[in-house]
Amino acid sequence: MQDLDGKVAFVTGAGSGIGLGIATALAQAGVRVMLCDINKAALDAAVEGLKATNADVDGVLADVSLKDQLQSAADATLEHFGKVHILVNNAGVGGGGDYGTWNDPAWRWVIGVNLMSVVWGFEIFGPLIESHGEGGHIVSTASIAGMVALTNPSYDVTKFGVVALSEDLRPKLAARGIGVSVLCPGVIRTNILESSRNIPDRFQGQIPSGPIEGPGTEVLKAVTEAIASGIDPLYVGELVREAIEGDWPHIFTDLQFEPVIEARFDAIKAGFDRIRGRTPRY
């Protein structure tokens, strides 16, 4: 999409961090933005802050891990702005517990927010974007953890899923005038480590908490420090805006994890090398 001025975007998880950075960068380009979040206080503050810059924005409260709430948020967007061109599936949570501590509610929470909301985003917003014939774009926030498994199981699984879904749908939606990009951020300065603040009521008291002591504590401390001095979310938002304009398939934020991803590709290649020259039995 070349001309963003006056277009309409719907951004999930827009009350904080990367989502707010994307909403801000789009608003600065003249995009009218519907901010969506589960957290009312954060959503209200974000909408108020952007309105103060004369941006044409509004907010809608929704738990995107519930399909009917995402559908209602889409309805509210059409009611307010008339149409929608850009969907940013960005809401996400970490903290589903590692091997030995995970449980079913934790998997359901993380899969619901990080993956099913993206599936439903495509399903609900794809036809809405297609319907006006002006084209559009869908960006979904995965992670470097969608390229190489390095955080915890439910987070990695859902982020690989978002990458797979985006790569699968990119050629299919191109034929329908919709660009598809997947955002794979590195370490960004956000509130992601406080994800438990957004555990929906139906899971309250059922999600295992993070490591309190033991080896995990040191890792958590290092991650906390890295995120506290991470990349500016508005910088990420500006990259996303450029990616929408340029129809980038993959959006990376920096080169920090490129060697780790290359090492994974090398390990996969080694798997093929191990059986090279053999003739399979049919």
Q: Kindly list the residues in this chain that would bind ligand NAD in the complex (CB under 6 A).
A: 12-13, 15-19, 37-39, 42, 62-65, 90-93, 113, 141, 143, 185, 187-188, 190-192, 195, 198, 227, 230
Instruction: Give the CA distances from residue 267 to residues 123, 148, 152, in Å, rounded to whole numbers and listed in that order.
Output: 35, 11, 20
Q: Give the Cβ contact number of residue 59 at 10 Å.
A: 26
Instruction: Pick between residue 21 and residue 179 the one whose CB is nearest to ligand NAD.
Output: 21
**Shortest spacing between CB 3 and ligand NAD, in angstroms:** 27
Say if CB 9 and CB 21 are below 8 A apart: no
**Shortest spacing between CB 165 and ligand NAD, in angstroms:** 13
**Shortest spacing between CB 110 and ligand NAD, in angstroms:** 10
Distance CA 236, CA 229 (A): 14
**Shortest spacing between CB 35 and ligand NAD, in angstroms:** 9
3-state DSSP percent of the chain in helix, strand and coil, to 5: 50, 15, 35
- Give the closest residue to 29 by CA, choosing from 238, 177, 223: 238
**Shortest spacing between CB 131 and ligand NAD, in angstroms:** 24
- The letter for the amino acid at 123 is E
Instruction: Pick between residue 92 and residue 179 the one whose CB is nearest to ligand NAD.
Output: 92
Say if CB 218 and CB 109 are below 8 A apart: no
Instruction: Pick between residue 38 and residue 239 the one whose CB is nearest to ligand NAD.
Output: 38
For the chain, the farthest-separated pair of C-alpha atoms sits apart, in whole angstroms, at 68
Exactly one of 99, 155, 235, 282 is catalytic; name it.
155
Instruction: Pick between residue 135 and residue 234 the one whose CB is nearest to ligand NAD.
Output: 234
Instruction: Pick between residue 42 and residue 244 the one whose CB is nearest to ligand NAD.
Output: 42
Question: Is 99 annotated as catalytic?
Answer: no
The sheet carrying 86-89 orders its strands as 57-61, 32-37, 8-12, 86-89, 136-141, 178-184, 250-252
For the annotated catalytic residues, the residue numbers are 155
